[in-house]
Each structure stands twice: as structure tokens, then as C-alpha cells.
Amino acid sequence: MDDHAHAPDPTVSAGHLVEVGEGVFAWLQPDGTWWLNNAGAVTGSDGTLVVDTCATEARTRRFLDALDGTTGGMPVRFAVNTHEHGDHTYGNSLLPDDAVLIGHEAMREHLLRDPLLDRGAVHWTPVPDWGAVTRRVPVVTVRSDLTVHLGGRRIDVVHPGGPAHTSGDLVVWLPEDRVLFAGDLLFVGLTPLVFGGSVEGALRSLEWLAGFGPDVVVPGHGPVTLAADLPAVLADHERYYRFVLGLASDGRSEGIGPLELARSADLGPFADWPDGERLVLNLHRAYAEADGVPLDMMAALDDATSWNGGPLTTHVCCFG
């Protein structure tokens, strides 16, 4: 089979809803690697708010069908995108036409310009086929925060105050339920990705996340995390971000580029995390930040592919 051919998706049936609070659901897609995100939903007496969609038509329909079956067909009135990346947004067009879509203002602008939806994710294999989706961006944009009141339930949508995973991250916080949808500010058990935002900002966001004091956290990728386990998850992220920043500082002082630096790096305790090639992407971001220049996304992806010895692996490839 051609490396870039579409093939049956072995994980398309693995997505499942988990109730993490009364009427609060996480949609989990193992194994959480490239293009396999988590999403979620919050129900009130008069409707549902969806947190993110999925990368493809098949995956988003499966999520929305499961939600519809669980809530008895309660209408989706609102949806929040935690950031612009396609695994969380490409399914937006499958939401009801009258659902109000909310996102950060920077996220909206990035999704409008996102080239991968049009040209395909050619750096991955098999190349994802998005299916019958079209570009749909938020109609309500946020700079810092807003609150949605849904059937008496308070839902806070909050920006961390600066770039982190991306420049337009949002979390969804349920203060009465103590549930936090963290988006891709957290990758549990996987290599974090920050090349669309800021390594320093991602590091700062960890204390900010802890400050919510959640009982339950739904990360953008990986398993649901309870309060007792959150400190270890945050500590792992902190160690990784400091590792990236330290490498970048040494590499820049020695005149070594991100790809060469990544090839010589010892991943140590992070070697077992899936998607290790993200080190290259994160180093590109750290270098761009330090040099005060824009990041060249395609050059960074080219280098990550070289480090990987070929296209990056994805399990999203079919539409059943």
C-alpha cells in the first residue's frame, strides 16, 4: 500500500462517552496520538454545550450520535472550540446550523487560514481524509473570558492570558461541578505540542490550570485525570517544557538548528511518550520565540518528518 493511501481506521469504533459529572460528558478517543482528540459536552435543562468536535466527518458523527443517544436528543445550542487545530475543529460544520460557536479571536483567524483542511495533512501517513466537512469558524469570539448560562448551569470559558499551546487557547470550567476541559494545554501520557503557541507560555499555564482546583480534568488528549493525579501530570509537563527550553538555549548558543539538536538529544524520561517527533516542532517554536521571528510551520513539519524517518503516523484515515 502506498504510504499516503487511505486505509481502514482501526480505532474508529473506540471513541466513547464517559460521564465525568452529572450531565457532563467526556468523549475519549484512544490512543490520543495525532488527530485523535478528546471532546465533551455539558447538558442543561434547555440544551447542550459541546466542547470541541473531531478531525473527520466519521469521528464527529460518531461523537454527536453518541451524545444524542445519551441525552435523549437534547439540542446542541452552543459549542466551544478550545483552539484552532483541526482535530478539535474540522467537525464544526456537522453541528446544528443554529448552534452558537464560540472561540478565541486569534483561534478564529488561524482556522480561517488553516492550510491543512484544504491541502490535506501530507506530513502524516496514512493521509487523513476529512470527509464531508467544511470550514466553520466561531461566530462569537472571546479575548479573555465569558460565561454561558445553560438551564441554570454556569459554564465559564476562559483564556490563559497569553499564548500557550496556541495563541488562542480556551478552557471550559464548570465551577459548581469542579470539572475542567483543558483542551490541549494538557496531553496526559503523550508528548505535549506547543509549536503553535509558546513554550514559556505553556509552562506558565500549568500553575494557572492548577489554580482552578478541579476535581476532574478532561485533557485534549489522553485519559481523564482526577484531582489526586493532577499534580503529577502538571509536574511531567513542567519537566518537559524546561527540557525543551534548556535544549533550545544550548542549541542556539552552539549554532545548532532544531533538527540537528533533536537528533542528538537524549529524550530520557520522555522517550516512552508517543509522538516524540514533537520535540522538533517544539524546538522550532522555542527558537522562533528566542529570535523574535515568526515560526515557519511547514519547515518545522518537514524537519519533524525527517527526524521521524518518514511521515508521521496517524490512525485517522477512513470514513466507514
Per-residue pLDDT of 224-278, as tens digits, reads 999 999 999 999 999 999 999 999 999 999 999 999 999 999 999 999 999 999 9
Per-residue pLDDT band at 128 (split at 50, 70, 90): confident
| 9: in domain | no
Tell me the percentage of the chain whose pLDDT exceeds 70. 94
User: Per-residue confidence at 318, pLDDT binned at 50, 70, 90?
Assistant: very low
pLDDT, mean over the chain = 93
Tell me the mean pLDDT in the region 169-194.
98
Mean pLDDT throughout 10-38?
89
Residue labelled with grid coordinates 539538536: 261
Looking up residue 170, the CATH number of its domain turns out to be: 3.60.15.10
Note the pLDDT of residue 319.
31
- Tell me how far apart the terminal alpha carbons of the chain are, to the nearest angstrom: 19
Is 10 part of a structural domain of the chain? no
Confirm if 139 and 101 have CB atoms less than 8 A apart. yes
In a domain, 1, yes or no: no
Q: In the numeric block, which cell numbers belong to residue 57?
A: 466527518
**Kind plus residue range of the DSSP H or E element containing 79:** strand 76-80
Residue 318 lies in a domain: no
Is 259 inside a domain boundary? yes
Range of the domain at 204: 16-313
Question: In this structure, are strands 171-174 and 312-313 parallel, antiparallel, or unpaired?
Answer: unpaired
d(CA 179, CA 283): 32
Amino acid at 108: R
Q: What is the pLDDT of residue 13?
A: 57
Answer yes or no: is pLDDT of 162 > 90: yes
Structurally, how many domains does the chain consist of? 1
Tell me, yes or no, whether 319 lies in a domain: no
Half-sphere exposure of 285 (CA within 13 A, CB side): 25
Peptide linkage before 65 cis (omega within 30 of 0)? no
Q: Is residue 211 part of a domain?
A: yes
> In the Cβ-directed half-sphere of 96, how many Cα atoms lie within 13 Å?
16
Is residue 312 over pLDDT 70? Answer: yes
Buried b (16+ CB within 10 A) or exposed e, 180-215: bbbbbbbbbbbbbbbbbbbbbbbbbbbebbeebebb
Note whether residue 195 is domain-resident: yes
